Structure 1
């Protein structure tokens, strides 16, 4: 089966995929015909996940480095041992919900999850939207790295990071299916840090103080975040068979035939790396807050499509 890569950057306000797993069904359709290297944002949907065995769940930093030929991906046959690191700032009532989630996934799906660990100090997450792009900071990255290292020493092959975000990011535009994910940017910062420093698959799940489930009808684009008080299930399911990271062994970028991205998000490291390797970039009409389109990157390797469906039909026929 051929390999393609599918990217939906986090926190850019994409009309399709900028919310809660709302592009997952499209990625699943691509995965019927190809092995798909995909970033978590494209398949994570809170308690739901669009992941399947034909997808390689790869955190954003690793995704970029892979497309730039700096890293390789080692597919796994046996499921990963997953380490879960909790921010010590998370209230005990919220921790209990997450522990129940871990135990449920152990029992129902047989996930191999190690005993969860806690940071020694609060991570100190702040999130914001700057220039129409989701962003933020963490004030204590060292405590995150220390806890993650401990889990790796315990045998963890993949890491789920759960940091405390305090009050829910109550953004009316996002809730209505028109705005920007206010926490996506800082979530990417957290997972990028761990993947870069420890070279292990990782993904982040936020924890909020409010664990009540919404009792009102929500926009379908964000509905999957409203039916559970934790976002951890999709992360753990993604990491279960996430490929390991290597500089020497595994799938090489040269095995990727196409990279599918929103037109307008063509300035990423992954896109530039793909073009350097003469990989065809499929730029699909999917408006966002970014504005680096094919007109700004003059390359014969960029193909434009009105819809993801037309893109899939094209690459199926080639």
Structure 2
């Protein structure tokens, strides 16, 4: 917590940071490459609410003590005011492994989970293997955004239910994703590795976690199981975090270990967080059609749209009737947040401050003489 809001008469300043999954975001569309922006935003607010796509960097992660790691569906429910967030000291994590994962690859993921117990001290329950292969398929829309389907969502939900019955408070899912054999998919993957394309697996990952959170109301995040790729010295630094090991699981387990629990209004507690406490939300300027952005844009929340975080979408908030503050970069967004938190109008930080003028309502304007200035 920052000391500026520790005195009487002030409430914590809360910001939400969203980078949609699978839309080719220039920042946050690769392997944890939005995490530096999240670190800076977190440094100027009391509480940052964000989601796995922002925080996950395969085997790399960065613990932010004032950040809340919230799955996308749960974040939408929170922003709509249906669910609250209850901070926790720790979660007991249940690990669900797709039956389609080969023995050697499954062993690598189990070793990664065991390493987080021994090295990070995380609380993991015994793992559950699904009773059928989940059958992940990957798709790409004409816009370039990615999505996917599961042939056996029932098997995923049964495994998650077993893990919860065994005492898990949060669920980590590892599903076997198809290796890129189609020529178009190979090209998409290569462009992604070079820092020039869309993450083909990201959209399907969101489908998996949404299913679990929607059914059980517990934190969930997903890590894909993929065959290791051959070394390529041209891999972009933005994608390099996914090249350094056999699994993307460590960041997921670290995030879930302290992910807030979801609560409903009937179970409201003194320390819970609700949408009406959110002061600002930061989002790519071209990707404002998500549930969290739309819900919060209808409230007092300041919407900050970042122009240089381009995506494959073209959904500005202005086209949906909203009025964001558009900034060029996350550096500028941080400045707007700092000013907002300090109660300083951004115009006061510019060379020219305009004069005040009389407010004219549409009704007043209709009865004024035509030559009225």
> Larger C-alpha radius of gyration, 1 or 2?
2
Post-superposition offset of 1:166: 3.2
8 A Cα contact 2:229 2:243, kept in partner:
no
Which stretches in structure 2 are left out of the alignment for 5+ residues? 1-11, 341-373
Match of 2:31 among 20, 40, 48: 20
The superposition leaves residues 124-170 of structure 1 with CA deviations (integer Å, 9 ceiling, x where unpaired) of 00012112110111000000000000000111000000001131564
Out of 148, 164, 175, the position equivalent to 1:152 is 164
Would the aligned equivalents of 1:28 and 1:51 in 2 still touch at CA under 8 Å? no
Partner of 1:4, secondary structure, is strand
Give the structure 2 partner of residue 266 of structure 1: 288
CA distance, structure 2, for counterparts of residue 109 and residue 48 of structure 1: 13
Residue 181 (str. 1) matches residue 161 (str. 2): no
The CA distance in 1 between the partners of 2:250 and 2:321, in whole Å, is 41
Match of 1:291 among 314, 317, 324: 314
1:232 counterpart residue number: 249
Counterpart of 1:120?
131
Q: 2:221 maps to what in 1?
A: 203
Query: Residue 194 of structure 2 contacts residue 234 of structure 2 at CA under 8 Å; is this kept in 1?
Result: no
- What residue is the counterpart of 2:302 in the other structure? 280
Cα distance change, pair 231–213 in 1 and its aligned pair in 2 (3 A): farther
Question: Alpha carbon RMSD of aligned pairs, Å?
Answer: 1.3
Shift of 1:84: 0.3
Higher strand share: 1
CA–CA distance in structure 2, aligned partners of residues 19 and 145 of structure 1: 28
Matched with 1:172 is 190
Residue 113 of structure 1: how far off its partner (Å):
0.5
- TM superposition shift of 1:315: 1.1
Cα offset for 1:217? 4.3
Deviations 1:56-104 (A, max 9, x none): 0000000111111111000012x10000000011001001111111111
CA deviation string 1:252-294 (max 9, x = no partner)? 1011100110001111111110022231111111110110113
- In structure 1, C-alpha distance between the alignment counterparts of 2:31 and 2:171, rounded to whole Å: 21
Deviations 1:197-255 (CA, angstroms, capped at 9, x unpaired): 010000000001x2366363411110000011100001000001000011122201011
CA distance in 1, matches of 2:195, 2:62: 19
Matched residues in 2 for 1:148 and 1:49: separation?
A: 25
Show the 5 A alignment for 1:130-145.
Answer: 130-131=141-142, 132-145=144-157
Consecutive unaligned residues in structure 1, runs of 5 or more: none
Q: How does 1:30-41 map to 2 (within 5 A)?
A: 30-34=41-45, 35-41=47-53
Contact 1:43 1:51 in 2 (8 A): no
- Taking structure 2 as the reference length, the TM-score comes to 0.82
Q: Is the 8 A contact 1:21 1:50 kept in 2?
A: no
Contact 1:62 1:195 survives alignment (8 Å): yes
* Residue 107 (structure 2) aligned to one of 96, 102, 120: 96
1:311 equivalenced with 2:333 (yes/no): yes
Shift in Å at residue 32 of structure 1? Answer: 1.3
Counterpart of 2:159 in 1: which secondary structure? Answer: helix
**In structure 2, what is the Cα distance between the partners aligned to 1:309 and 1:253?**
25
Q: Secondary structure at the match of 1:48?
A: coil
Measure, in 2, the Cα distance between the counterparts of 1:67 and 1:127: 28
